[in-house]
Chains A and B, each alone.
Chain A
């Protein structure tokens, strides 16, 4: 993990309690909005706040299991990878998240926010 993350810039964005269970909050960055999601099991994931389909704001979707359903056209996106669930195809960028105690940080340096999503280098940690 460390070897992947050496060039990352961890940015503290809040606490896990700021994000509703099965809900989402948005972090605004110069590279675009990042949606942070919290699952029922208190995992936190961060995705580019844009569906690979028509850039719908995923932060406004319904979170279930480890997926979110886009509010615009019901595409289902994997929170861990940003990948669209079949039969849809596409991928949105995802951002590494670190939860320490209740604090949530995201690694903006590692984010691949260009449309088309992230490559292997930003494997989720």
Chain B
């Protein structure tokens, strides 16, 4: 029996009823099960309120006195020792006459006899019993979860196990990207291990941080050498004698010498439940922390109060105060639940969140992003009050926001400037320029070019500058990414007063940003922005997750800039590109199989006819692009329709895509008496090369076999007209609302040249045109000379553009229908969530 008794422990018999019948009036006996922060805070408060009122016995399962559990992370990271985090040493228990029984968990409560029994067989009677058993790490029940080397992160023993593993080096996998998991990951990394964090959700700490802040945190951890895999679901833990790795549900194997399981905690209510106390997710308590048995209290992480459980320290202390009052016989005092705030204890990473920042009916967001300093702040307001706050990179006003939030203070007066922090809004409430005016001269305004406020103000006054462009020219402030142009304009306004006239604004991408399409695209490439949240942060988006206008555009820009690397954002695509079919006015879809160059065959037509019969497809129509369109297909039928078409060798016709639609051809020299070249064959080659690409808008090609131009090639995005001596390439045409005939780009002699020019033209369009700008308005905007300069006059550049196009195509030529019909990709898209009778 491994028992640690504190030094003043008398014989066990002293605690028994018999000895208490003599002498002074018997003190009430308080037994505390759980020697952790909640239990001991209660005892500490109780001793202050009613010293000597109880004879107190404390059972602790761990072999230590009470320590500050939330400081385990710094112990793991080597920033603190265990001794430094002990809250009450054994001498404190002695001095207060408390019997401390460590390493001795309590195993049962006899509510009739009013006794508890410990694992050591010790029976101790109580008048009042306090259950403060805290919580346990939740171990996800995957195969291998009980292997040696799988560690929770809850107590000092876990930290010791991690430190022992880290001393040997090697690899650690941390399952769970919440507060504890990230602190564990950081500690293990600091101790020299290779660390990978696996997180089920798309962003880290999603319960405490919004996605924008979560991504910033992920970037910082990655910068510190921690691998982060989000959206990763653990299938099993591998190993026979000891853990050797983790297998994900997507099939990836991650080698590991230890696995830290930090997916969450569960209230440790087994004792209360076994004793028949009313339990929900925890032991249920009222506002005075009383359980369903009037002699038994519960406090801390093991309780459920008003339907909520808590895992942070502040609420536990609030509970402990109320409970201590009750135990001390004081009237009044009720625990009404807690508003909580969170801070991540990773040195050098400043993250703070508080309250409810999920939004809600009638809430408004105030978002502040300072890309240069890596700062993100979001405040959520409702009815003139602060409801929630998320701070990343600059958390110095966290305490202020938290107090405004807890007090439910009316913040209408500070609303306009409160995002800048507590210093603002006092003298000049409501004037955003005051925020800039109040900055010190040393404040960096332009992070790209390192220009301080003082430099800019000096230039404005010294050189008589009056416009943003002049400031750019003289100081280079906002001359790179332009992210600080708003701040520079505010500086101009603050310095010049009425003398400043804001420059006419270029049309921004959408209401989420002040930047233009071109500025955002340039920044994506120049700053190496690789995800949408990166763009939101760097370009200081004013909304948390963009809108239906900017998200598809950004998704395209990122896809174009980082082929093979950027992961397509499914929820940022229009429905047609998600469903790989065209939505119709009644909510059904139309399906267009690809017919290369407009060619088809008896077996394809037969398969199409069978599909039409089998799925009762009401309308079949031949399109202008030489395809067959099946109208009125129910969404749920799409995968089955595709499966049948795939089986006959047909693939998606991408009739729904901002991408290559069709290559229309005439029959050319193979059949036509006027044909000069094999226009059909060339059309098929062009379609094989270009299908599957994503472009700013739809792209249609055509090849006509002679200048009679039966394929209408001169109103296409790129049209080839065959002539005796070779091929004419025409670009920038379209039918539609504003018909535009193509411009002649060049005449070439061979099919190879046609293909190279086509690839180069496609890529120039992909890289330069704005999202939803077709080639016709693009060519008009930039001018044919610009296109010719890039493609005709600069063969080097033409070849490079073509090479980039072909490279990007290596990632885009998978038939999306086959992926969905056979491999079950995006299955949820085509299934009802539920069918309620």
Contact = CB atoms under 8 A, between A and B. Distances in A.
A43 B834 CA distance: 19
A75 to B, nearest CB: 10
A74 B828 contact: no
A27 B360 CA distance: 23
B544 interface: yes
A54 B585 contact: yes
B543 A64 contact: yes
Interface string A39-51: 1111100000000
Interface string B184-227: 00000000000000000010001000110000000000000000
B715 interface: no
A25 B832 contact: yes
A40 B583 contact: no
A38 B548 CA distance: 15
Given A18-B833, A25-B833, A57-B587, A41 B357 contact: yes
Nearest to A123: B361
B579 A11 contact: no
A26 B585 contact: no
Contacts of B206: 42
Contacts of B587: 56-57, 60
A71 B579 CA distance: 12
Given A64-B547, A65-B544, A72-B585, A13 B358 contact: no
B359 A65 contact: yes
B545 interface: yes
A39 B358 CA distance: 9
A23 B836 CA distance: 21
Interface string B350-373: 000000011111000100000000
A80 B382 CA distance: 14
A63 B571 contact: yes
A76 B7 CA distance: 71
B157 interface: no
B575 interface: yes
Contacts of A25: 828, 832-833
A64 B210 contact: no
A36 interface: yes
A66 B836 CA distance: 26
A86 B828 CA distance: 32
A41 B359 contact: yes
Given A66-B359, A71-B583, A30 B543 contact: no
A65 B360 CA distance: 10
Contacts of B835: 27-28
A62 B574 contact: yes
A21 B571 contact: yes
A72 B576 CA distance: 11
B359 A62 contact: no
B572 interface: yes
B131 to A, nearest CB: 23
A2 to B, nearest CB: 13
B358 A29 contact: no
B266 interface: no
B483 interface: no
B176 to A, nearest CB: 16
A81 interface: yes
A43 B546 CA distance: 17
Nearest to B547: A64
Contacts of B573: 62
B836 A71 contact: no
Contact of A62 (B210, B571, B583): B571
Nearest to A78: B361
A73 to B, nearest CB: 10
Contacts of B210: 40-41
B570 interface: yes
A118 interface: no
A25 B836 CA distance: 14
A20 B359 CA distance: 18
A36 B570 contact: no
Contacts of A72: 583, 585
Contacts of B570: 20, 23
A71 B585 CA distance: 10
B359 A43 contact: yes
Interface residues of A, number: 41
B836 A27 contact: yes
B571 A22 contact: yes
A69 interface: yes
B685 to A, nearest CB: 35
A47 B685 CA distance: 47
User: Which of B206, B361, B572, B573: most chain A Cβ within 10 A?
Assistant: B361
Interface string A90-111: 0000000000000000001000
B552 interface: yes
Given A20-B828, A60-B575, A74 B836 contact: no
A95 to B, nearest CB: 11
Contacts of B578: 60
Nearest to A71: B575
Interface in B555-609: 570-576, 578-579, 583, 585, 587
A62 B365 CA distance: 20
A66 B83 CA distance: 49
A116 interface: no
A61 interface: yes
Given A65-B359, A65-B547, A13 B836 contact: yes
B613 interface: no
A80 B364 CA distance: 13
A13 B574 contact: no
A63 B359 CA distance: 14
A18 B583 contact: no
Contacts of B365: 65
A36 B573 CA distance: 18
Contact of B545 (A22, A43, A74): A22
B265 to A, nearest CB: 15
Contacts of A69: 547-548
A81 B548 CA distance: 19
B358 A43 contact: yes
A30 B837 contact: yes
Given A27-B832, A27-B834, A60 B544 contact: no
Interface in A1-31: 11, 13-14, 18-23, 25-30
A64 B832 contact: no
B343 interface: no
Contact of B832 (A23, A28, A57, A108): A28
A102 to B, nearest CB: 11
A23 B571 contact: yes
A60 B832 CA distance: 12
Given A22-B571, A56-B587, A64 B833 contact: no
Interface in B614-652: none
User: Which of A36, A62, A74, A76: most chain B Cβ within 10 A?
Assistant: A62
Contacts of A67: 547
A124 B202 contact: no
Nearest to B388: A41
A71 B546 CA distance: 17
B128 interface: no
B551 interface: yes
Contact of A64 (B358, B546, B579, B836): B546
A65 B574 contact: no
Contacts of A43: 358-360
User: Which of A22, A27, A36, A124: most chain B Cβ within 10 A?
Assistant: A22
20 contacts: A13-B833, A20-B570, A22-B545, A27-B832, A28-B834, A30-B836, A41-B358, A43-B359, A56-B585, A60-B579, A61-B575, A62-B551, A64-B546, A64-B547, A64-B551, A69-B548, A71-B576, A72-B583, A80-B360, A108-B836
Q: What 4 pairs between A and B have smallest CB-CB spacing?
A: A69-B548, A41-B358, A25-B833, A62-B548
